Amino acid sequence: MPFHFRQFDYSQNVHRLIIFPLEIFIVFKSENALKIQADKYVQALMIYGSAMNLNRVRILKDSKERIGPTVYWMSRDQRVQDNWALLFSQELALKQKAPLTVVFCAISQFHGATVRQYDFMLRGLQELEKSLAEKNIPFYLLTGLPEEEIPKFVNKFMIGALITDFSPLLVKKQWNKTIADNIEITFYEVDAHNIVPCWIASSKQEYGAYTFRPKINRVLDEFLEDFPILKKHPIIWREDKGEIDWNKIRESRLLGDSISEVQWIKSGEKEAHRVLHDFIKNKLQVYYELRNDPTKDGQSNISPYLHFGQISAQRTALEVLENAENRSYKAFLEELIVRRELSDNFCFYNSNYDKFEGFPNWARKTLTAHAKDPREHVYSLEEFECAKTHDELWNAAQIEMMQRGKMHGYMRMYWAKKILEWTESPEKAIEIAIYLNDKYELDGRDPNGYVGIAWSIGGVHDRAWKERPVFGKIRYMSYNGCKSKFNVKEYIERVKMPIS
């Protein structure tokens, strides 16, 4: 069907798209949507009768339509089920009567990722290859930098349209830009990670949860919908894609690294759903009471799956809502939706999300004013890394992260704040905290990590507190404060126990 004319009537919240001989009015329920460059949605709207909310889609490069296979360059959302980027790719391919393929680029050095994270990711991708094959969608595992490999792939197979999933991190933004500059086809970006697309939730950096929450809540009904089912793709990809030698790839990624894989948590989409169901059945009821006690197993443990996109936050929220019984579900959804999506908001709108310069003005001012305060202890990166501080509680948290690949959420705050207290400057503190977090946490290199560290060290999304040495007006946490909240000795003993 030829695309003839388009017109936007912003005043009436109506996006008017005329496709000869039909005239279609698409009503944007979300006012925010109109603030975003609405014309960027036009090509996406060409998919007449789309089963999804197209506000989840942006166009990174607008180009002439080319007939050819559709490619989803998968990056942050490594799953088959409940994946808006994959669903959108399929819609586009079906409209073009084209085959569909999924491509992933494995990079040898990714932001300090180690064996631990590669092992988790590659096992998940191996399962994903099989699930995609059941849907007639071949999976290519490329090795190398996406900015080089994706344009090569697009040219080699005369691809008609390219789709990717959304990440607010600088590295992905840079890859997208280089790829857009080096291809001649339309390039779409779909926010498959957030429930409310990051650019719709807010058009600016938010001050805190208190300003972000009402914005999210205003549009949540519109976006917290169930997913359409991914179809078995009817148009076959004819190219011979060869076999992926998973063992060889794993071996090449896993060499020369001293950080070991972890065994207590298994990777993959199926396992992610099992962990979610176990949480809902056995822990959700008491989440409110237990989540901040590191001696109890009161958190969901879902963050590694969310980080690698092996489970959708939207699916998680929908399932938790089906079991909404007491105040616990609200507390969980506050973390899963408001806090998590606020992290994406911060990283999307603040390119200094991992630096001192990204802290709010009041925090930089107060930290600078206290930069020369004498520190009772100053540790080097090596001393921190080897858990050789004077504080047995801090050391236990560091050991928990090193051994288990997941520090308890409450301890993460204490851990980062003490790094501020025991380093020569806040700049050094943020550098050390990010280095250790990204090296050992299974869920590291995530907007949640950068924001959690910036909250602890730099007052991001927090307010000014009573002034004190070194911290200035940044919120303080103490050993005695922890003692009043949970059994510190029990936590220290627990960390020493074998991991099950």
Ligand X SMILES: Cc1cc2nc3c(=O)[nH]c(=O)nc-3n(C[C@H](O)[C@H](O)[C@H](O)COP(=O)(O)OP(=O)(O)OC[C@H]3O[C@@H](n4cnc5c(N)ncnc54)[C@H](O)[C@@H]3O)c2cc1C
* Min CB(441)–ligand X separation in Å: 5
Which residue stretch of 148-156, 159-167, 296-304, 372-380 sits at the interface with ligand X (rule: CB under 6 A)?
296-304
Of residues 123 and 283, the one with the C-beta less far from ligand X = 283
Of residues 119 and 446, the one with the C-beta less far from ligand X = 446
Q: Is 301 in the site for ligand X (CB under 6 A)?
A: yes
Which among 216, 176, 174 is positioned nearest to 194, based on CA atoms?
216
* Min CB(480)–ligand X separation in Å: 19
What's the rounded Cα separation, in Å, for the pair 308 and 268? 9
Interacting residues with ligand X between 317 and 336 (CB under 6 A)? 335-336
Q: Is 448 in the site for ligand X (CB under 6 A)?
A: yes
CB atoms within 10 A of CB 38: 15
Going residue by residue from 403 to 422, which x/- string records binding to ligand X, judged by CB under 6 A?
Answer: ------x--xx--x------
Of residues 15 and 307, the one with the C-beta less far from ligand X = 307
Size of the site for ligand X (CB under 6 A): 27
Which residue stretch of 44-52, 114-122, 260-268, 440-448 sits at the interface with ligand X (rule: CB under 6 A)?
440-448
Q: Is 439 in the site for ligand X (CB under 6 A)?
A: no
- Burial tier of 480 (Cβ tally within 10 Å: 0-12, 13-18, 19+): exposed
Extract the tokens encoding 403.
Answer: 């051994």
Name which position in 102, 106, 216, 306 contacts ligand X (CB under 6 A).
Answer: 306
Name which position in 32, 164, 202, 303 contacts ligand X (CB under 6 A).
Answer: 303
Cα dihedral 155, 156, 161, 166, rounded to 10, equals -90
Which residue stretch of 50-58, 87-95, 99-107, 452-460 sits at the interface with ligand X (rule: CB under 6 A)?
452-460
Q: Is 449 in the site for ligand X (CB under 6 A)?
A: yes
Of residues 237 and 332, the one with the C-beta less far from ligand X = 332
Q: Is 257 in the site for ligand X (CB under 6 A)?
A: no
What's the rounded Cα separation, in Å, for the pair 500 and 497? 9
Q: What are the Cα distances from residue 42, in Å, to 8, 94, 185? A: 10, 18, 15
CB atoms within 10 A of CB 152: 12
Question: Contact at 8 Å (CB) between 43 and 66?
Answer: no
Q: Is 343 in the site for ligand X (CB under 6 A)?
A: yes
* Min CB(461)–ligand X separation in Å: 9
CB atoms within 10 A of CB 389: 17
DSSP label at 32?
H
Which residue stretch of 112-120, 152-160, 297-305, 344-352 sits at the interface with ligand X (rule: CB under 6 A)?
297-305
What's the rounded Cα separation, in Å, for the pair 93 and 97? 6
Q: Are strands 70-74 and 161-165 parallel, antiparallel or unpaired?
A: parallel
Of residues 91 and 441, the one with the C-beta less far from ligand X = 441
Of residues 240 and 325, the one with the C-beta less far from ligand X = 325
Q: Is 309 in the site for ligand X (CB under 6 A)?
A: no
Which residue stretch of 80-88, 320-328, 446-454, 475-483 sits at the interface with ligand X (rule: CB under 6 A)?
446-454
What's the rounded Cα separation, in Å, for the pair 469 and 452? 22
Q: Is 284 in the site for ligand X (CB under 6 A)?
A: no
| Full DSSP string of 151-199 | HHHHHHTT-SEEEEE---SHHHHHHHHHHHHT-SSEEEEE--SSSS-HH
Name which position in 61, 307, 315, 418 contacts ligand X (CB under 6 A).
Answer: 307
* Min CB(436)–ligand X separation in Å: 10
- Within 8 A by CB and 6+ apart from 423, the residues are 375, 378, 379, 429, 432
Interacting residues with ligand X between 61 and 80 (CB under 6 A)? none
Phi, psi of 436 (to 5 degrees): -70, -40
Report the interface residues with ligand X, using CB under 6 A: 291, 299-303, 306-307, 335-336, 339-340, 343, 409, 412-413, 416, 437, 441, 443-444, 446, 448-449, 452-453, 456
